[in-house]
């Protein structure tokens, strides 16, 4: 059984209104002994007037709330504190500052791409003036730049997130179109000891597979990668551990993975699948 959800959002994220308490109560009800909270902090995020979300985390209030939760529920669940750090090639210094400043508080950092050169693939303008394949390729190329410049993350989040918002949907994705750039990404992150995640968030949205595509998970493994975390990307308690046993475990074991990781003090722990 997968006993930890390592990608969760609460009301400390702009795009969630789930009280921390409701998430922890749900986790206890599901019977998982540990959980890692990963609220959003997107460095240099341009506020979108459509929703007003700024994706800035108030770290001090967040850590204080986690402390309080640990006092309340610490005898029933191990609550870890993480962050989903939105990365771009222009924010290397700021990412380093955050990881340094909170080195005693942060158990885990997911590095994610929510923006490519300031553009959010969530909005259709991302594809203006180019094909979908070019837009997807640009997403992976920007990840390659990020992982070349930035070390302040433990796993890279939802590697093919861009596919989720593609106008023609997941059927546009063909591994052969991006194999070279994905290989370059893994050539950089694997020797650095960095992982990737399997993110089941797409499964309760509009996709038939979790992030990233099985071919990408396979490539990471074939190239020697061993660090995989499992997260639901839930922004509401009801999605905690979504499809972990019915999808994620089988997907990983079918590729030959025998362990998944959880993180404490920025160090991986290997748990049998
Ligand atoms: N970053 C969000 C998606 C989003 N982008 C909402 C803009 N608004 C995924 O957690
Ligand atoms: Zn979000
Ligand atoms: Zn994300
Ligand atoms: Zn997330």
From first to last of its 273 residues, what are the pLDDT tens digits of the chain? 999 999 999 999 999 999 999 999 999 999 999 999 999 999 999 988 888 999 999 999 999 999 999 999 999 999 999 999 999 999 999 999 999 999 999 999 999 999 999 899 999 999 999 999 999 999 999 999 999 999 999 999 999 999 999 999 999 999 999 999 999 999 999 999 999 999 999 999 989 999 999 999 999 999 999 999 999 999 999 999 999 999 999 999 999 999 999 999 999 999 999
- How far is the C-alpha of 57 from the C-alpha of 14, rounded, in Å? 8
122 lines ligand 1 (CB under 6 A): yes
CB-ligand 1 contact for 158 (6 Å cutoff): no
Nearest CA owner, ligand 1 atom 5 = 122
CA 14 to chain centre: 16
For the CA of 122, the nearest atom of ligand 1: 5
Containing domain of residue 152, as a range? 4-272
The burial class, CB within 10 Å (0-12 / 13-18 / 19+), for 89 is middle
What sign does the CA torsion over 244, 230, 113, 188 have?
negative
Please tell me if the CB atom of residue 120 comes closer than 6 angstroms to any atom of ligand 1: yes
Q: How many domains does the chain have?
A: 1
Distance, CA 44 to ligand 1 centroid (Å)?
14
Ligand 1 atom closest to the CA of 53, numbered from 1: 8
CATH of residue 148's domain is 3.20.20.140
Crossing angle (nearest 10°) for helices 179-189 and 132-149: 10
DSSP state letters, 55-67: ----HHHHHHHHH
ipTM beyond cut 0.85: yes
């Amino acid at each position: 059984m997968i006993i930890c959800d390592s990608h969760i959002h609460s009301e400390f994220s702009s795009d969630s209104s789930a009280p921390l308490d409701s998430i922890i109560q749900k986790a206890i009800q599901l019977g998982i002994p540990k959980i890692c909270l990963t609220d959003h902090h997107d460095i240099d995020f341009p506020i979108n007037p459509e929703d007003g979300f700024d994706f800035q985390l108030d770290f001090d209030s967040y850590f204080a709330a986690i402390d309080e939760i640990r006092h309340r529920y610490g005898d029933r669940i191990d609550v870890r504190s993480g962050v989903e750090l939105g990365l771009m090639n222009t924010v290397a210094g700021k990412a380093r500052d955050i990881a340094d400043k909170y080195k005693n508080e942060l158990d885990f950092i997911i590095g994610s791409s929510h923006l490519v050169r300031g553009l959010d693939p969530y909005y259709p303008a991302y594809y203006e003036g180019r094909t979908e394949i070019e837009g997807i390729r640009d997403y992976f190329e920007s990840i390659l730049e990020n992982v070349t410049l930035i070390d302040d993350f433990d796993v890279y989040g939802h590697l093919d997130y861009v596919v989720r918002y593609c106008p023609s949907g997941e059927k546009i994705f063909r591994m052969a179109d991006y194999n070279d750039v994905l290989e370059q990404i893994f050539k950089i992150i694997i020797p650095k000891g960095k992982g990737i995640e399997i993110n089941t968030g797409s499964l309760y949205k509009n996709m038939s597979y979790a992030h990233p595509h099985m071919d990408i998970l396979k490539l990471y493994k074939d190239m020697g990668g061993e660090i995989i975390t499992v997260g639901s990307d839930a922004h509401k308690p009801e999605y905690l551990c979504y499809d972990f046993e019915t999808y994620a475990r089988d997907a990983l074991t079918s590729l030959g993975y025998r362990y998944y990781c959880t993180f404490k003090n920025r160090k991986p722990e290997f748990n049998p699948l």
